[in-house]
Structure 1
Amino acid sequence: MPYLFLAFIVYPLAEIASLVIVADWIGAGWTLAALFASALIGIGMLRHHRFAVGWSLVNDMRSGRLAPQSLFWVARYYIAAVLFIVPGFIGDVAAVLMLLPWGRRDTAKVPPVPDVLEGEYRRVDPRQDPRRRLDDR
């Protein structure tokens, strides 16, 4: 429990420090523009997917195929949107990392393709005359 309290103290201080470092590096105007843009991205994420994600979860529940991966993806998506809205660059980096498709192994599965090719073949002795064709036998 004391670590959680420490995180609530350290995180805002780290965000302020990152804002000062970035403002010193690229300028205060560009820093404010980047913060405004990231907040707009977060608001857009929440507005755009608010109904779409909810309806997809309802459809998954109705069909009986509600997987923990889909719930985990929805939680990550909303946390990333909130992190984009909160001013600071550490939260923005964490939001981008949350949006990466880790943990979604079910979409990477490809149906198996048979490895056996049906057909006929003849062995050709490589020491024979190369001008001799297979159909001359």
Structure 2
Amino acid sequence: MSRRRRFVQGALFVAFVVVPLLEIYVLVQVGQVIGAGWTILLLLLDAVLGSWLIKHEGGRAWRAMREALQSGRMPATEIADGALILVGGTLMLAPGFITDAFGILLILPFTRPFFRRVLAATVARRLLISAVDVRRPGPGPAEGPVVRGEVIDDE
């Protein structure tokens, strides 16, 4: 099994088994400390705060991207911010305190630069790996010397 496949399987296991179990554990613990009603109210307030934050920061990222495009600048930072806000908003949709906390960290403007650097490093590493894979010699017309010439069709 390839290294990448093992990583993907591990990530899926964590995302679909470990995280939900942790969320349930935290919800039960919080419910035991403050009560079920307060826990539900806290989750609702968390959802309202998250919705407002997504709307506010998403709008800000959209305006920044439009300004970058209008000025003729490549909106790389703005696209990364939009992606992080989208992922953070998706995490905010999942009920639970752990995913909400991580989602808020992706959305907040003062924590987002850290995650933007992580995203940029990940994308750069993937592009470097892809570029190395493209340059590997393989079967086909890329092997051997290149002969320049002109094709003449007699028919």
Superposed pair shares fold, TM > 0.5:
yes
In structure 2, what is the equivalent of residue 43 of structure 1?
A: 51
Partner of 1:93: 101
Structure 2 CA distance for partners of 1:48 and 1:60, relative to 1, 3 Å? same
Using CA pairs below 8 Å that are at least 6 residues apart, which structure has the higher relative contact order? 1
Q: Which amino acid aligns with 2:53?
A: M
Superposed CA offset, 1:43-68 (max 9, x none) = 22344455543233122122122343
- Cα deviation for residue 19 of structure 1 reads 0.6
- Counterpart contact for 1:42–1:81, Cα < 8 Å: yes
**Aligned residue among 14, 17, 28 for 2:22:** 14
Task: Using the TM superposition, give the Cα deviation of residue 6 of structure 1 relative to its aligned residue in structure 2, in angstroms.
Answer: 0.6
- Aligned residue runs from structure 1 range 1-137, under 5 A: 1-7=8-14, 8-98=16-106, 99=108, 100-103=111-114
SS class of match (1:3)? helix
Partners of 2:88 and 2:37 in 1: CA distance: 24
- SS of 1:65 mapped into structure 2: coil
Contact 2:46–2:100 (CA under 8 A) maintained in structure 1: yes
Per the normalisation by structure 2, the TM-score is 0.56
Based on CA coordinates, which of the two structures has the bigger radius of gyration?
1
1:37 to partner: Cα distance: 0.8
For 1:90 and 1:45, the matched residues in 2 are separated by 17
Identical-residue share of aligned pairs (%): 31
CA contact (8 A) 2:57 2:85 kept: no
Higher helix share: 2
Please list every run of 5 or more consecutive structure 1 residues that lacks an aligned counterpart in the other structure. 106-137
Deviations 1:53-87 (A, max 9, x none): 32331221221223432222222223223322321
TM-score by length of 1: 0.62
Q: Which runs of 5+ in 2 are unaligned?
A: 1-7, 118-155
Q: Report the CA distance shift for 1:66/1:26 in structure 2 as closer, same or farther (over 3 A).
A: farther
Cα distance in 1 for residues equivalent to 2:113 and 2:9:
30
Aligned 8 A contact 1:41 1:85 in 2: no
The amino acid of 1:45's aligned partner reads L
Contact residue 42 and residue 80 of structure 1 kept, 8 A? no
